[in-house]
Chains A and B, each alone.
Chain A
């Protein structure tokens, strides 16, 4: 009798041990448990904590629950960190070879070292499956491309638009400009009436860069700006120097809020939102402020509208946008469950689009059918614009390598502050790009 007890005890012990080791093999994904009920675990790390981004957090959980239901053999294990901690953890785990199977990355410069270190898996096979690539807005997946392979599936997309206060515009009988020359007239009308025309916080530098990027995108037509950034053309070409000159003239004409080089974007935003400035060029991540955010006064939200950046000297196309995808999903190259992870990121990106825009107010990188969603008008307009976009010029600091971006941003601040001439501005770029190659 006693012996029996010992045997059962041992058996139970073994079972427990198996369960525990089973769990271990799941999380490491090596899968030596064998049998039918073999579970795979995908470790997934994201940066939307429940506290600060509840809507995002809930959508992620919803998608994961659906996925696990459809794939009972797979379990998704979450780790959630806030932005800065996320970046740190990603860097630390990458050096120790313990990256999560699936995680989030930023495009362009952020991605570069990870791709060079062969830590992220190319996802072209995922994109080519079921025409997933075509469901993305023009230019978004390209932002995650390096040496011909795509390393991330973009989730968010932001394009810059000129937001304006229609109450102020109405007061002075102003209308949305379609040409830059009209915009200049608006600026001088507002100045005559002692209204600050445009809010700009150029201490952050990328804010001023948006103005130059749009100006160069319009004047440089046929992609001259992108070619210059890629080192295939020179920044000293006439249209690009002209763009720099026009930007500088706008700054010196007093169109921007006083002391813009010392103001942060946050301060500029608060000037626009407290109706101290009539216009504000910012990306669509600000949309909630002008539509759904209850803490902003209803009057102000009703008054805000936006227009596409105008054509300059009759050149350019208003359906070309300066913007960039935000975070995207990556799959770790070293992952033990790479196939499952790829399947998961595909499922995630397919589900994310409509859910994110209707539940969290995120503009997704995938095209959204505006008939299916119930959203404020401004959202529908933006989504419509993106479905019809002809070109997406990536934010300069996303598109350039970190070194060149730093030069660009410093040069922008100097250009706005009239410390350098447009020609010097162009030469600084050419030099930095050449040095980088």
Chain B
């Protein structure tokens, strides 16, 4: 009775047939569920199609229209704004998790509280915040009136503030997720490193900035990509809370795509927008990876 030795393991792993066999199930699922629909979406974008009847090939017309479509670029701008705010908010999450990871009283309880929004479904969160923002009876305006502000804004009705009003629950919704990731990463830093830094006379800020942050930089980079990609394709709260309104002032790329495909039965054009959304997201991801790439991970 001998267990599989390292050399035998290598033998199996260099067998082409074995490699194929092992990766096939995952590859098959990804191909069928993701790659093929992606290609089909790009293909539908070349069609004039209402989703039900027959398709007519119209070449690049949908894509050209999309590029000249002011409403699309407005929605893209809103998505980029969301990406920007999501990324900036990561700094706050990082600070919070640094505090939680240092041994303070009640950190355990706080960590759980921060995680609550993640446990709620998006629709429940949307309903909750619709109530909060209700211009007449909502808790927010009631408080504002209580402290003497006579005409608090109608948060979801005013085209100038609606986008930012929706950003708040979106950021709140994901706070727990990022805090959890940072917390786990920070807990992985060996206590001895911090101990020796302290002996060398580093103050807590220096420890945070010079020791902890560089050590979890890899994780930070991942969260930046997650936040940006997640923002660019964001849909749920916006769809439930305003449907992109009033007058398109809270429309993002994904909700615009949905409106085109399902409200106006314009599947061809909707697919083209969807494909552009994919391309924009891809390009931004590549840029972010390039910008955050460093020669090597820092190890102490």
Contact = CB atoms under 8 A, between A and B. Distances in A.
B285 interface: no
Contacts of B136: 196, 257-259, 271, 276
Interface in B52-67: 52-54
Given A259-B136, A263-B135, A417 B246 contact: yes
A402 B266 contact: yes
A113 B158 contact: no
Given A113-B53, A116-B50, A263-B135, A417 B157 contact: yes
B243 interface: yes
Interface residues of A, number: 35
A203 B246 contact: yes
A316 B263 CA distance: 32
A332 to B, nearest CB: 13
B271 interface: no
B159 A419 contact: yes
A407 to B, nearest CB: 9
A414 interface: yes
A95 B243 contact: no
A261 B246 contact: yes
B121 interface: no
B71 to A, nearest CB: 9
A205 B245 contact: yes
A189 B155 CA distance: 28
Interface string B141-163: 00000000000001111110010
Given A113-B52, A271-B136, A403-B264, A263 B246 contact: no
A109 interface: yes
B154 A262 contact: yes
A264 B154 contact: no
B134 interface: yes
A414 B156 contact: no
Contacts of A203: 156-157, 242-243, 245-246
Given A113-B51, A117-B53, A413-B245, A263 B134 contact: yes
Interface of A: 91, 94-95, 109, 112-114, 116-117, 119, 196, 202-205, 257-264, 267, 271, 276, 402-403, 405-406, 410, 413-414, 417, 419
8 smallest CB-CB distances across A and B, nearest first, come from A259-B154, A262-B156, A259-B135, A262-B157, A117-B53, A261-B157, A113-B52, A259-B157
